[in-house]
Structure 1
Amino acid sequence: MLDLLETAAEPNRRRLLQLLGRGETSVNELAENFPVSRSAISQHLKLLADVGLVRARKDGRRRLYSLEPHGMARLRDSLESFWNTELDQLATDAAAIRPSRSAPHPKENSNDH
């Protein structure tokens, strides 16, 4: 099973999501924005579609891609959950290593006064 955050985190796929945020676009138009082949872009789009972040529709011979609103909402929820969890853990870790206020400061114990 593909991980939503991991799939969206890859730089080319992140850029594809940004470009698709402007509206429905063909693979060829998307590929113009990358130094990789149209085939590589199609593979990235397939992965994004597999996790539900984009959808494709045929228009004659063209395949048009757009963002999948429900999938993007899931991605936003995953990011919010990830950051809330990570920030909570960071705060807990910081509190655990912070010296207590009752401990004397190293300079306060110095006899160099």
Structure 2
Amino acid sequence: MDRDESRRGVRLARRRVGLLPRPAPRVRGGRWSDPVSTAIDDDLWSAIGEPTRRRMLDLLLAEQGTATTLSARLPVSRQAIAKHLSVLERVGLVTATTSGRERRYDVDDAQLARASAQLAQVGAAWDARLRRIQRIAERIQHERDAAAPHPDERETDEHQQNESEERNDG
């Protein structure tokens, strides 16, 4: 057994016991094999993570566009726009239709909804984590407050200790 086969076996074993997530569905023929899945997809997030691509999606949501029309509205070259469009098309966020020599791009609403659902899922998971951290911090603070004497109690204890010392001295 070579090294790659060994690593593959370990990955499969970890996936079976729930230590690794299932891989995201793959694109087949320009369409997602599982369009309603909300499994986190690194390629999709990588595509959305680039600011120019997000701006392109905003423009394409308003109306269809070509690489030329988008480059006129963005501060990047037509070639850069074409590369960004190919990334967006590869992950299924935009679809292209050919009209003569032009390729017109439009946002795929289903895939954009999938990306939004993933964002909501990640946001909810982080909100839950932050709430747990807050509860832990509050519990620790409550335990510290309960263990520490109240400021009035400290003054009373010090006063009683001083009176006791004065009686012992006198």
TM-score, with length taken from structure 1: 0.86
For structure 1, the 5+ residue unaligned runs are: none
Aligned to 2:33: none
Amino acid of the structure 1 residue aligned with 2:50: E
Which structure: greater helix fraction?
2
Amino acid of the structure 1 residue aligned with 2:151: N
Identity %: 30
Q: Does 1:79 align with 2:119?
A: yes
For structure 2, the 5+ residue unaligned runs are: 1-25, 27-41, 156-170
Aligned to 2:47: 7
TM-score, with length taken from structure 2: 0.59
Q: How many residues align?
A: 113
Q: How many angstroms apart in 2 are the aligned matches of 1:27 and 1:93?
A: 46
Compare CA radii of gyration and give the structure with the larger one: 2
1:31-110 to structure 2, matched below 5 A, reads: 31-98=71-138, 99-100=141-142, 103-104=145-146, 108-109=150-151
Q: How many angstroms apart in 1 are the aligned matches of 2:57 and 2:143?
A: 48
Larger relative CO (CA 8 A, sep 6+): 1 or 2?
1
1:97 Cα deviation (Å)? 1.5
Amino acid of the structure 2 residue aligned with 1:44: H
Q: How many angstroms apart in 2 are the aligned matches of 1:3 and 1:84?
A: 21
Q: CA RMSD in A?
A: 2.5
